[in-house]
């Protein structure tokens, strides 16, 4: 009797320990994304590193292209070494990248190497963290992943504000160099220490979660492949706009700024968090078809109108409102794949990441080249092109519904 009475207590202690692991891992995962604050430094970073808009585009565009190799490697290594070892390696690799950013001084190539190294490990860390969290909570997989995304969303709100705070501090004392390098030195130490925080209670053993990687895994049915392409296009347009929006809002295209660009990015992240929370609260069947089309068309159009106004306030408002709208299309497309082709869900995710890296390189680096050639006063034309990506996603969703929607309206085997 006494032994039986102790069991619930032990189970509760184990669950609380797992919750702590999930919280810490989600926090460290969010910290690795802090490299994303660099675009908030905009022209200050360019002046410090001595680069023009071409270099700015390459600084943030090359990493996602190289990161495809990390995603492919993760598919091979996860099955062999398990998520814990991969998390440790990814944290150490990211810490090494941040150390380069901290110690590179004004050397642009060192900063580029640091950004590339962080991007290289971002994919493996995300994949391994998802595998580890779902392993900790096998009965609450969706909830624990949603929790981890919420922690990342909160960090996305805080980081741009922190970057603006660092710029404010730089203007009032130490200059840009120290406020640029020291945070990355601190983060490198934290992540390196975190990589040794958990080693498990049992000897490491191969973790067999999926078949070994093969390029054949990317051979998915055509409807799934097209959705993966649209997901990759969504991600590339979203990240490219996030990268260049601070530079655009801080440029001479706007003679007066009502508030800092970092505040706009923080509001953007908040819009994403609120929209995703509202979407999660809606019934799963609500708007299944419409959410493949309307978010991209409406959100992209709102941003296009804001940019065309040439007004700082309307451009910022269009970006935040557009993000609130287009944020729904990514989970809608993933949900369509999961509902109709569950066996290809992981493969579609991998395919979208493999396609997304080159697309993002083209968008971010292409925006830099175009801005350099057109000049800062005409940068709004470049932003129009990036915003048009969401309109293309919406049109692609409409085409997908017209081509495949009738045959995939209900789960396989269900009456139609």
d(CA 415, CA 315): 47
* pLDDT value at residue 124: 87
- Contact between 380 and 77 under an 8 Å Cβ cutoff? The reply is no
Q: How far is CA 175 from the centre of its chain?
A: 30
Query: Distance between the two ends of the chain, CA-based, in angstroms?
Result: 55
How far is 59 from 70, CA to CA, in rounded Å? 18
Residue recorded with tokens 């032990």? 10
In which residue are the tokens 């053993």 written?
A: 205
136 with 144: CB under 8 angstroms? Answer: yes
Residue 172, H or E segment: none
Assigned CATH class of 8-199:
mainly alpha
User: pLDDT (tens digit, 0 to 9) for every residue of the chain, 416 residues total?
Assistant: 444 444 556 767 777 877 888 888 888 988 998 888 899 998 899 999 999 999 999 999 998 899 888 888 887 777 788 888 889 999 999 999 999 999 988 999 999 999 999 999 988 888 888 878 877 777 766 567 667 777 888 888 999 999 999 999 988 888 899 999 999 999 999 999 988 875 554 433 444 444 555 555 556 778 888 998 999 999 999 999 999 999 999 888 888 888 899 999 999 999 988 888 887 777 767 777 888 999 999 999 999 999 999 999 999 999 999 999 998 888 888 778 777 666 666 677 778 888 888 999 999 999 999 999 998 889 999 999 999 999 999 999 999 998 887 654 444 444 33
Total-model pTM: 0.84
What pLDDT score was predicted for residue 215?
56
What are the domain boundaries of the chain?
8-199, 214-407
Q: Evaluate whether 144 touches 18 at the Cβ level (below 8 Å).
A: no
Residue 336 and residue 230 in contact, taking contact as beta carbons nearer than 8 Å: no
Tokens 């797992």 belong to 18
**Residue 292 CA from chain centroid, whole number:** 20
DSSP code at position 401: I
Check residue 6 and give its pLDDT. 46
Phi, psi values for residue 195, rounded to 5°: -65, -20
Structure-token match 């080693």, residue found: 199
Q: Which two tokens stand for residue 335?
A: 């949900």
CA 352/CA 338 separation, integer angstroms: 14
What is the chain's Cα-based Rg? 22
Please name the fold of domain 214-407.
Growth Hormone; Chain: A; (1.20.1250)
Domains 8-199 and 214-407 in one fold: yes
- Return d(Cα 387, Cα 391) in angstroms, integer: 7
> What pLDDT does residue 201 have?
47
């Amino acid at each position: 009797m006494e032994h039986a009475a102790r069991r619930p207590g032990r189970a509760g202690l184990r669950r609380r320990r797992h919750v702590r692991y999930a919280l810490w891992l989600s926090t460290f995962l969010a910290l690795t994304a802090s490299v994303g604050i660099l675009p908030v430094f905009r022209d200050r970073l360019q002046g410090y590193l001595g680069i023009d808009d071409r270099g700015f585009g390459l600084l943030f565009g090359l990493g996602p292209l190289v990161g495809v190799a990390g995603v492919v490697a993760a598919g091979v290594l996860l099955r062999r070494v398990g998520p814990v070892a991969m998390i440790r390696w990814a944290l150490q690799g990211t810490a090494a990248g941040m150390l380069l950013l901290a110690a590179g001084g004004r050397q642009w190539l060192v900063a580029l190497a640091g950004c590339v190294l962080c991007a290289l490990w971002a994919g493996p860390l995300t994949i391994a963290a998802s595998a580890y969290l779902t392993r900790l909570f096998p009965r609450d997989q969706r909830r624990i992943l949603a929790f981890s995304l919420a922690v990342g969303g909160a960090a996305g709100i805080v980081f741009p504000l922190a970057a603006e705070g660092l710029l404010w501090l730089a203007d009032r004392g130490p200059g840009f160099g120290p406020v640029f390098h020291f945070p990355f030195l601190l983060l490198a130490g934290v992540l390196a220490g975190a990589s040794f925080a958990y080693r498990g209670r049992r000897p490491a053993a191969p973790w067999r979660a999926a078949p070994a990687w093969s390029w054949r895994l990317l051979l998915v049915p055509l409807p799934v492949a097209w959705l993966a392409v649209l997901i990759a296009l969504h991600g590339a347009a979203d990240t490219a706009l996030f990268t260049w929006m601070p530079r655009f809002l801080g440029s001479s295209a706007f003679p007066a700024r009502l508030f800092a660009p970092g505040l706009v990015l923080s509001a953007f992240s908040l819009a994403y968090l609120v929209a995703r929370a509202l979407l999660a609260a809606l019934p799963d069947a609500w708007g299944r078809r419409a959410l493949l089309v309307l978010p991209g068309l409406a959100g992209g159009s709102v941003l296009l109108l804001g940019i065309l106004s040439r007004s700082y306030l309307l451009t910022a408002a269009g970006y935040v409102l557009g993000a609130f709208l287009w944020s729904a299309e990514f989970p809608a497309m993933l949900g369509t794949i999961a509902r109709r082709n569950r066996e290809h869900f992981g493969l579609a995710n991998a395919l979208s990441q493999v396609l997304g890296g080159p697309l993002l390189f083209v968008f971010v680096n292409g925006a830099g080249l175009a801005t350099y050639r057109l000049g800062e006063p005409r940068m709004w034309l470049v932003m129009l092109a990036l915003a048009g990506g969401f309109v293309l996603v919406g049109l692609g969703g409409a085409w997908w519904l017209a081509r495949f929607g009738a045959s995939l309206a209900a789960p396989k085997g269900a009456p139609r």
